[in-house]
Structure 1
Amino acid sequence: MNDTPTQPPARSYGRKSIRLTLQPQDLMAEDAPIAGVWTARIITLFPQAFPGVLGESLTGKALKEGKWQLETTDLRRFGVGKHRNVDDTPAGGGAGMVLRPDVLGNAIDHVQRNTRGNCPLVYLSPRGRRFDQRLARSWADCDGVTMLCGRFEGVDQRVLDHYDIQEVSLGDFVLTGGEIAAQAMIDATVRLLPSVLGNAESIEEESHSNGLLEHPQYTRPAEWQGRAIPDVLMSGHHGKVAEWRQHMAEEITRARRPDMWAEYEKTKGK
């Protein structure tokens, strides 16, 4: 008996909604996806966690305007048996549960059938490569990204090997699942898409964009709690302002992130 549903749905957000099925879609219908739009596809046990913070502010506005798309696929719909089980005990014993390879495989195959273009397949894992601005920029240059959100003790290794899935970590800590990490990574990527942020200069001056941490920022009032804005920022001399900001970015990076500073020094010397 095949316990996999014939039409496991996915939730989608943005200017148009979409229900993923195994049937061809009418591209003129209201629920058709927007062709050629950067798309984040999430395989998760908690589709209701999305869009979450991604539906707010800059990313939320861009989502509503159809500048990017978000599709969620409920892993539970691919579960086996009457109770739609998605996990089992670890081979060799041990605490916790592991997501099953047959369940994950069916879910990934389904999502991949509806994926077009260059769309990296990623598993959010604390043992993966650490996510950074460079990786966000790389994903922004793709057609989208497919993210597998883990739970429990992780996923069966055979799935990662079979699909050659890239493991990526938000940082050196452990979360209950991959949903929070997925939202953080998508946010960092979407804001790099053309027309989303609306100010390319702002992106270039942000922390990590040029290999340095960002310089300090100030705004009105000119004096607050006895602390004044640095005179150079009030001088109106754009060249001196640029020099000051560069100098401060270098000083802060050197003091706070010796690893970044060392890499920056190498790049600067080329």
Structure 2
Amino acid sequence: MMWQATVLTLYPELFPGPLDASILGRGAAEGYWALDTINIRDFSDNKYGSVDDTPAGGGAGLVMRADILGAAIDSAPRNDRPIVCLSPRGAPLTQARARTLSEGAGLIALCGRFEGIDERIFETRDIEEVSIGDFVLAGGEIAAMALIEACVRLIPGVLGSASSLGEESFDGGLLEYPQYTRPREFEGRAIPEVLLSGDHKKIAAWRREKRREITRTRRPDLLERFAKDGPIRRDKNKEPER
């Protein structure tokens, strides 16, 4: 079954955008995945196409209406796909979650705008809130693109070679080791000799150590978790475990 992403948005013209370029675009053209959009304004109940109203209790900004969003969400075929709302209050997006989503039928991404979304839509629909970082954007569209890209590149066949995914950042719980290529020397800095030695055992040991070193320096929280729980074990049919 083809992996299918449906995006509910006020700005369908933003899509596919970068999702149509490079390996992602090629993956879509070759039938590994597909994208469609639903314009939330199509479900407006007024001639102006508005989808929001002032917040109950007062306050700045406008809030997206639950009745209009409910109609838009219900129009999307579920096909066992989770509904994901991109929100700064959501659970942080992880490589493990992206991998699990990539192994399913796809996803339905809800992109909020304005001051927020009427809470009743979360109370009446099974919606997972996901955050791509501790910052606020004008809307959920860029976050939805990031989520979809994170999933699509993990679909078997999209990258061409499964080995390309083997030792990336977060794979096994650590950040990726440094990469080098030609020229052999650049502005007085040479490629580490071990990488030119042809000794695969030494190269593997060097890369393992560099992964730990970079993780220790840049993401000590990941290293602490790695030391406590060990590397992530992947099973193609299950959520990655530790």
Q: Same fold (TM over 0.5)?
A: yes
Identity of aligned residues (%): 53
CA shift for structure 1 position 132: 1.2
Q: Alpha carbon RMSD of aligned pairs, Å?
A: 1.1
1:69 to 13, 34, 43: 34
Q: Which residue number in structure 1 is paired with residue 163 of structure 2?
A: 201
Look up the equivalent residue of 2:72 and give its one-letter code.
Answer: A
Q: Deviations over 1:29-73 (max 9, x none)?
A: xxxxxxx20001100000000001101011011111111010100
Question: SS in structure 1 opposite 2:171?
Answer: coil
Q: Distance in 1 between matches of 2:181 and 2:85?
A: 41
User: Residue type matched to 1:138 in 2?
Assistant: T
Contact 1:204–1:210 (8 Å) recurs in 2? no
Say whether residues 1:135 and 2:100 are aligned partners.
no
In 1, Cα distance between the equivalents of 2:210 and 2:223? 13
Equivalence for 1:247:
209
Q: Once the two structures are superposed, what CA deviation does each residue of 1:60-109 show, in whole Å capped at 9, x if it has no partner?
A: 11111111010100001001111122000000000100110110010011
Query: Counterpart in 1 of 2:23?
Result: 58
Q: Is the 8 A contact 1:232 1:240 kept in 2?
A: yes
2:3 alignment partner in structure 1: 38
Distance 1:209 1:43 in 2: 31
Distance 2:189 2:26 in 1: 36
- TM-aligned CA deviation for residue 228 of structure 1: 0.6
Amino acid at match of 1:60: G
1:218 has 2:180 as partner: yes
Question: How big is the shift at 1:204?
Answer: 1.8
2:117 aligned counterpart, secondary structure = coil
Which fold has the larger relative contact order, with Cα–Cα distance below 8 Å and residues 6 or more apart in sequence? 2
Cα distance between partner residues in 1 of 2:47 and 2:162: 52
Q: 1:115 aligns with which of 78, 82, 87?
A: 78
Separation of aligned partners in 2, 1:63 and 1:88: 37
Structure 1 portions without partners, runs of 5+: 1-35
* Stretches of structure 2 lacking an aligned partner (at least 5 in a row): 232-241
Where does residue 231 of structure 1 map in the other structure? 193
Q: Does 2:38 align with 1:79?
A: no
In 1: Cα distance, 2:150 partner to 2:162 partner: 14
Q: Quick one: distance in 2 between partners of 1:170 and 1:184?
A: 8
Paired position in structure 2 for 1:190: 152
Instruction: State the alpha-carbon separation in 2 of the partners of residues 202 and 250 from structure 1.
Output: 20
- In the TM superposition, what whole-angstrom CA distance separates every residue of 1:197-218 from its partner, at most 9, and x where no partner exists? 1222221211012111000000
